[in-house]
Amino acid sequence: MSLKVYQYPKCGTCKKALKWLDEHDINYESIHIVENPPSKDELASLIEKSGLPAKKFFNTSGKKYRESGMKDKIKDATEEEMIDWLASDGMLIKRPVVTDGEQVTIGFKEDLFEQTWNA
């Protein structure tokens, strides 16, 4: 199984996730989320497969999220609007986003990784 990991090299959470994957000998393709953010279609697919609402894909602790007033914008936004915003700036996306094409995790929680990626 090879995973796609959308991550940001300076992100501490991403570093922990990649370290966990390395320690468990899980192959992955590392994708710089700012230089190569997922497209609108990819995001729509990731959101659908994750089973989570689109607003869960926002990096709510990020500077860009706060500076652009996203908290207020996403309250009444459609999923399509949220996908447009996420696709426009990789820094708005909660990371890492990990997928094998079927399953999707966002962020890093060791128990979730254990359950999802170490099967």
90-100: per-residue pLDDT in tens? 999 999 999 99
Phi-psi region of 32 (alpha: psi -120 to 50; beta: other; left: phi over 0): beta
Peptide bond into 9 cis (omega under 30): no
The answer, yes or no, to whether residue 1 has pLDDT greater than 70, is no
Q: What is the mean pLDDT of the chain?
A: 95
Which domains occur in the chain, in start order?
2-117 (3.40.30.10)
Segment 106-111 mean pLDDT: 96
pLDDT at 48: 97
Segment 9-17 mean pLDDT: 96
